[in-house]
Amino acid sequence: MAKSKLQSMRTLVIGDIHGGLKALQQVLQRAEVTPEDTLIFLGDYVDGWSDSYQTVCFLIQLNQTHRCIFLRGNHDDLCYGWLKNNLVSEEWLVHGGKSTIRSFEKAGIDGKKAILLFFENLKNYYIDSHNRLFVHAGFQSHHGPEKEHLTLSFYWDRTLWETAVALDKSLDKNHPHYPKRLLLFNEIFIGHTPVTRIGETTPTPMANVWNIDTGAAFKGPLTLMDVTTKTFWQSDEVWTMYLGEKGRNP
In a domain, 231, yes or no: yes
Residue 3 reports pLDDT greater than 60: no
In a domain, 2, yes or no: no
Q: Which of 33-47, 53-67, 107-121 has the lowest mean pLDDT?
A: 107-121
In a domain, 32, yes or no: yes
Residue 171 reports pLDDT greater than 90: no
Q: What is the mean pLDDT of the chain?
A: 93
Residue % of the chain over a pLDDT of 70:
95
In a domain, 159, yes or no: yes
Q: Which of 4-13, 48-57, 102-111, 145-154 has the lowest mean pLDDT?
A: 4-13
In a domain, 248, yes or no: no
Q: CA-CA distances (angstroms) from residue 43 to 56, 78, 109, 154?
A: 11, 12, 24, 11
Domain tally for the chain? 1
Tell me the pLDDT tens digit for each residue of 193-225.
Answer: 999 999 999 999 999 999 999 999 999 999 999
Q: For residue 16, what are the domain limits? A: 10-241
Q: What is the C-alpha to C-alpha distance for residues 240 and 99, in angstroms, rounded to an integer?
A: 17
* pTM for the whole structure: 0.94
pLDDT at 137: 98
Q: What is the mean pLDDT of residues 137-165?
A: 96
pLDDT at 177: 84
In a domain, 4, yes or no: no
CATH code of the domain containing 36: 3.60.21.10
In a domain, 1, yes or no: no
pLDDT at 102: 92
In a domain, 171, yes or no: yes
pLDDT tier for residue 1 given thresholds of 50, 70 and 90: very low
Q: Which of 7-11, 72-76, 197-201 has the lowest mean pLDDT?
A: 7-11
Q: What is the C-alpha to C-alpha distance for residues 250 and 241, in angstroms, rounded to an integer?
A: 18
pLDDT tier for residue 150 given thresholds of 50, 70 and 90: very high
pLDDT at 31: 98
Residue 13 reports pLDDT greater than 60: yes
CA pseudo-torsion sign 234, 53, 158, 190? negative
